[in-house]
Amino acid sequence: MPHHDLVVIGAGTGNAVVDDRFSHLDVAIISEGPFGGTCLNAGCIPSKMLVATADIADTVRDSDRHNVRARLEEVSWPAVRERVFGRLDAQAAEGESGRRSTGWVTVYRGRARFVGERELLVSTDSGDEHVTADRIVVAAGGRPAVPPPIADAGLPYETSDTVMRLSEPPSRLAVVGGGYIAAELAHVFHSAGTEVTVIEQSDGLLAQQDEEVAEAFTGIAADQWDVRLGREVTGLSGTPGDLTLRLDDGTTVRADTVLVAVGRRPNTDTLDVERAGIACDDHGLIEVDAQLRTSAEGVWALGDVCDGGPPLKHVANRQAAVVAHNLLHPGRPREMSYAVVPSAVFAHPQIAQVGLTAQEARERSIDVVTGRRRYQDVAFGWALEDTEGFCKVLVDRASGQLVGAHVFGPQAATLIQPLVLAMSFGLTAREVAERPMWIHPALTEVVENALRDAAGQTDDGS
């Protein structure tokens, strides 16, 4: 029975835990899927590469607003797919071969499950192998959730794990779900020429966003796609390539392809974690403390499989750094903080947020003032001919502290970062607006002016 000093389950963000500082240890990495995990192979990176292509196609289509007469001949999907995955598949293979060549890392390609305390059974193509370890990091990630009416129909469907590798964009795509994955992939395929229908059980798309952002996005999406709100799928019928979704109001949606994007679930149910004494919450997420330790001695967890923070890659990256430090320096451990966690939706328009939404501030009875500026209120917004974008900041009335920020429009994921820094360092809206010098006529002026708007309404005495 092989024994290791450290075993990491998962070669996505889990692979980032181990670097040359661990070279004095006998380390093993167990991965069922390709190295790089969801982010590299089926998530953040390929989707954003496809979004960048979609944005270029849309720019050509919309070029007339800048008095440029351009015509989009086609989006060559097979070439796009090869460019994206030819590069990323090579990266995954190189990641694995690099680990195997270290001389101090053993790679097991297979599914791991606990059979005891820090004892694993790894099922590989060559058979089962028992593995034990002094310490284990569980970073096994998650997978797409699929509603029973679709999962049980016996008909083909796609998820975010598979849809980006289609050989051609479908003529008609039905997207089940209205969150960020649905929004981004609907944008990708719509820009490639697909007719898109989005089915969402909530009354709006991106319901977890600030209410003003969600309303604005839903309105724009409804102008581009067939959007069915407040509806659930009750059944799937037809034949491959000619599918019919039945909705709870008796209506139907026909499509060549169905994309299920209703969320993700942790892979804990495949790990038999209870056999190792690892506690999970009601959602199947491994419970961890601030140091990312589980209830089992010598076992840590990070990423989408644990209950620490939102399931975002940059959160998992920070967790990996904390776990690595705590493994190497148990006498002076570090803790995770989720006080300021930004996120972005790379749809059209792009969206970014940090902190509270307006509805969350109301629920917590926080007295906030709102600063708001439209892209069209600043010079570079004129240059973009943008009439939809805006920046919105939420500021505590008494202290002047930022408690939330939301950007809706081009470059949102970049524009949010000064606000992330401000919240991280406890700066007031007035300090951020007045102390730095903001470039004119950069698009960052929309952030500056939203901050000035809020600062003028606060009681901080500045």
Is omega for the bond preceding 349 within 30 degrees of 0, making it cis?
yes
User: CB of 454 within 8 A of CB of 432?
Assistant: no
Query: d(Cα 374, Cα 346) in Å, to the nearest integer?
Result: 19
Q: How many CB atoms lie within 10 A of CB 334?
A: 15
Residues making up the chain, counted from first to last: 462
Of 66, 130, 329, 440, the active-site residue reads 440
The values of phi and psi at residue 18, to 5°, are -95, 120
Q: Which residues pair with 137 in a beta bridge?
A: 8, 300
> With the CA atoms of 181, 185, 190 and 196 taken in that order, what torsion angle do they form, in degrees rounded to the nearest 10?
-60
Among this protein's residues, is 440 annotated catalytic? yes
Place of tokens 């966690």: 341
CA atoms 441, 447, 452, 453: torsion sign: positive
Query: d(Cα 147, Cα 246) in Å, to the nearest integer?
Result: 13
Place of tokens 């000619």: 242
Is omega for the bond preceding 418 within 30 degrees of 0, making it cis?
no
Query: d(Cα 22, Cα 455) in Å, to the nearest integer?
Result: 48
Burial 362-396 (b: 16+ CB within 10 A, else e): eeeeeebbbbbbbbbbbebbeebebeebbbbbbbb
Q: How many CB atoms lie within 10 A of CB 426?
A: 11
Residue type, 358: A
Considering only CA atoms, which of 241, 181, 173 is closest in space to residue 50? 181
Place of tokens 């694993």: 120
Q: How many CB atoms lie within 10 A of CB 218?
A: 22
Considering only CA atoms, which of 118, 100, 92 is closest in space to residue 4? 118
DSSP tag of 269? G
Active site residues: 440
